[in-house]
Amino acid sequence: MNSNENVVVFGGAGYIGCPLVEMLLEDNYNVKIFDNFCFGRESINSFKDHPNLSIIDASICDCNEVSAAVKGADAVILLAATVGHRIREVPASTMRTVNFLASTVVLDASIEHGVPRFIFASTNSVYGSEPGLFYETTIPSPVSLYARLKLRMEERVISEKKKGVFHPTALRIGTCHGYSERMRFDLVVNSLVREAVCKGKVSISSGEQMRAFIHVRDAAKAFITCLKAHENSISGEVFNVSANDQNLQINQLANTLKSILPETEVEILAGEPDLTSFRLSCKKIEKLLDFKCTWSMEDSMKEMIDAFKKNLYKDPYSLRYQNS
């Protein structure tokens, strides 16, 4: 794809969606945000009046709105999803409705209207809780309902590949971190920074468990990389998306944070250790699409600390900054 083409971003006002839309507009794409704005519209204030942007305030459960939104699009990016259990009362049926049934409607509408490219935001949690180094060829073993639904939808998306007509791609994204206009503090790195700044203390369990991380803007860049890639490189493909140098233990995160804010106290909590520990291999996306991450963990933490210094969050513990 070239710039000036039409891209619909479902969930474009979300944590990844905001930087993604901003970057698409900078690249001169025509962008349509489709979002229910359940966390407010402030996240898009910096680019809401851009001439290449249109906004649809609707739910992906509305079939008519979805169909109208994708008509004439050159690409659809599906980020929208119910993540976790916000306010601890989101029923499982709601997650199934949004993350599979309504998502399938978005996929089917895209196919029906002849949209050539479809990029689905999946998750590295499809691999489950077993330890190891995970490649795209690793057999998934999802544990949570969220991960199981993501895998089902991912399989549904990829199965629709049709040579010369429909080119679906799924991105298994690692745990994101860093500043976004639609900030989240329920993600592990962001939460640690919040605790260090607001309380001067971070608490971790064991700390030896390893996770795969990626800055939110690097995650957004992965979607644009797929848009710009030749269709033969992305059609029917699944890619792990994280930073190879950010397969890190939780205690490494705490140590990096303490190096930036030396007064931070690090508390190791007693109890059963978290035995879930894994790494992601991202050689495939690096080799096939020449994708490279640019944000370091240290720079990400400094960026968030600067946001606190600018008093951007009146109440960083508000539910508006939580997805789960």
Q: Tell me: the pLDDT tens digits for 140-164?
A: 999 999 999 999 999 999 999 999 9
CA distance 185 to 294: 22
Which band of pLDDT confidence, cut at 50, 70 and 90, is reported for residue 33? Answer: very high
Sort 88 into a burial class: Cβ within 10 Å, 0-12 / 13-18 / 19+: exposed
Residue 262: per-residue pLDDT: 97
pTM over 0.75: yes
Which band of pLDDT confidence, cut at 50, 70 and 90, is reported for residue 87? Answer: very low
Same-domain pairing of 62 and 197: no
Same-domain pairing of 110 and 99: yes
**Residues in Cβ contact with 78 at an 8 Å cutoff, skipping those fewer than 6 apart:** 10, 11, 103, 106, 107, 118, 119, 120, 121
Same-domain pairing of 14 and 33: yes
Same-domain pairing of 72 and 195: no
Amino acid sitting at position 196: A
Same-domain pairing of 261 and 150: no
CA distance 274 to 277: 8
Q: Which domain holds residue 258?
A: 185-211+248-276+296-321
Q: What's the domain count of the chain?
A: 2
CA distance 221 to 286: 12
Same-domain pairing of 34 and 140: yes
Q: 274 vs 129, 138, 185, 212, 245, CA distance in Å?
A: 10, 22, 20, 15, 22
Same-domain pairing of 159 and 271: no
Q: Which CATH number does the domain housing residue 80 bear?
A: 3.40.50.720
- Residues 213-235 have pLDDT tens digits of 999 999 999 999 999 999 999 99
Same-domain pairing of 136 and 198: no
In-domain check, residue 291: no
Same-domain pairing of 137 and 206: no
Same-domain pairing of 262 and 166: no
Same-domain pairing of 129 and 226: yes
In-domain check, residue 284: no
